Amino acid sequence: MKVFRLRLVKLLLLGFLLANLVFLYYTWNTLLWRRISRALSGESQPAEEPPKAAKLSPKEKLRNANKHIRKSITIVFYGHYNFEQDLKASIDSILDVIPNMPILVLQDGGAEYAYPPVNYERNLTAGEERTVLFQSLSFDVRRTRQELNPLASIRTKYALIMPDGVRLNSKNILQKILREINSMGLPGQPKEQRPPVPPEQLVRRMVLVPFAGNLKSFSSCVKMNLDLPDWTLELVATNDTRRCDLFLQKHAILLDAAALAAMPEPFSLPFPEMLYMQAKIANLSTTVFPQAFQEGRRLFASFHTKQRRMDLRRRQFREMYKKLQIKRIVRRAYRVPGKAQAREVWGQGHGLVLDGQFSSSNTSLPLITDIDLFGCERTTKSCIGSVYNERPYYSYLGKHTPPCCLDKLRTTFNHVLEEFENVGIRYWLDNRALQSAIETNHLSPDAYDIDISFNVQDLERSNAMKKSQSKPYVDNEGFYWIKATDGHHFRVQFSKPNQVGVNLLPYSISGTEAKASGFFGWKARSF
């Protein structure tokens, strides 16, 4: 009986196992054929629902936002003056809002800029690192080319060039300007119509962020035309922020670090004017952001520091015009006629420094034009230099005669004509510089001297020419009359050091024939 029960239990277990195996076989077979038939018919499998993202806490959202800003922007301080600055408070206000923000402080190497040295120390809290880097732009033979390059310290896509004296109260404005420069299309378009910029694409645009303390009564935007062949810089005041080639009042600049690297000297004084010149040549567009940064401590409030800064700015602008080979500045600004322009001057009334009071924002005022010339005075040498094969050096550079030299050449020419007319000397003009004068009423843009032929029988009528036969003569207006050493012709220069001038070629007239009298060369032709 006991043996029979054991056999029955074994049979039941065996039957149960066989039933499970049969069930598993048919289940697997059914599922397999379903997958095969679905694959043959081209039906797609139902997509699995993505797992729901965990809801972030406000603290985690803040941490992610700060991380995105730190990975995208490096804040660069440049253009400050160490004898009066607000760098420590400005940097602290940024790090208080966004800890570990990469900050680069660039310093020019001259003693007037780098002294006294700026000492920055910050009590680091938990999780903070030292992310503030000071770098000198002065040449040091002990440093490598990579170490001398300030752009090597910028490891983010964008650089935010910040002026001294700022207080950052919130990261919102940084998020907004980052969103603005990261968007393609025109400013003001709906967000869905402005796709994001690909990470590898160069952004050829600058976002200008003004400061809250800027004066509304003065225009901040200037349209700029840089005509290098004519040595000319034209500045036109405007209130149109879409045509802002140069922003005059206090502001920050956000731009692609690769665009900075493409410029020959992005960090060069005067700043940011020199940067705008290079950006104009590189065809970088600008966008004036509608919101503003908050002001820091007021700087240069005393007369001494204000005058010291202005003296340095004059020197910077003088060097910039020399480096860019600019000799004429045309300013068109809105202001009251006859009222002196509120700007600093250099030399004999020449406007040198551009400031925030360039023009009134009231465009109903008349548009007044001022033209300033540089580089050609009575006490300086001529910009033309030596001439070989009838071609000055600048003609090989694709440039015309400097406008300051043309102005002095025109002045000398008019002075000689006035002298000849007053004493009754018979003369005629046959110089190439005057070929287009009849049609255009202007000298040829490539003129570097003028020839005036005159009747040698009238020479004694001119007191200046009579005196210059024995030795050089300076008349009452400062013009320098001299007789050539290789003949009997004369030359009238703007001054003794400035050799821009007019050649006086004597001719003897016999009947209907005129012959060169006492001078030789290709100009001595009879007719």
Q: What is the DSSP track for 65-134?
A: HHHHHHHHEEEEE-S-BTTB--HHHHHHHHHHHSTT--EEEEE--SHHHH-SPP-------TT----EEE
Please report the pLDDT score of residue 349 as a whole number. 38
208 CB-near residues (< 8 Å, 6+ apart): 244, 247, 251, 252, 253, 286, 287, 288, 289
- Number of CB atoms found within 10 A of residue 76's CB: 26
Those residues whose C-beta lies under 8 Å from the C-beta of residue 137, and which sit 6 or more positions away, are 106, 107, 108, 109, 150, 267
Give dist(CA 420, CA 205) in Å, integer. Answer: 58
The residue type at 452: I
Spatial neighbors of 348 by CB under 8 A, at least 6 apart, are 377
User: What pLDDT shows up at residue 39?
Assistant: 61
Topology given in CATH for the domain delimited by 393-516: Beta Polymerase; domain 2 (3.30.460)
What predicted TM-score, i.e. pTM, was given to this entire model? 0.79
User: What is residue 466's three-state secondary structure?
Assistant: helix
Q: What percent of the chain has pLDDT over 70?
A: 81
Structure tokens given for 169: 């109260």
User: What is the token pair recorded at 379?
Assistant: 């006490």
pLDDT tens for 349-386 read 345 677 777 888 888 888 888 888 887 788 888 888 88
Helix (H, G, I), strand (E, B), or coil: what is residue 401? coil
pLDDT per position as a tens digit, 249-282: 999 999 999 999 999 999 999 999 999 999 999 9
Of 346, 74, 354, whose CA–CA distance to 233 is shortest? 354
Reply yes or no on whether the pLDDT at 210 is more than 60: yes
Q: Both tokens of residue 429?
A: 């003009």
Better pLDDT: 52 or 85: 85
CATH number assigned to the domain covering 58-186+200-213+250-265+285-295: 3.90.550
Residue 246 pairs in a beta bridge with 222
**Fold identical between 58-186+200-213+250-265+285-295 and 393-516?**
no
Domains of the chain: which residue ranges? 58-186+200-213+250-265+285-295, 393-516
CB atoms within 10 A of CB 181: 21
On the question of pLDDT at 522 being above 50, the answer is no
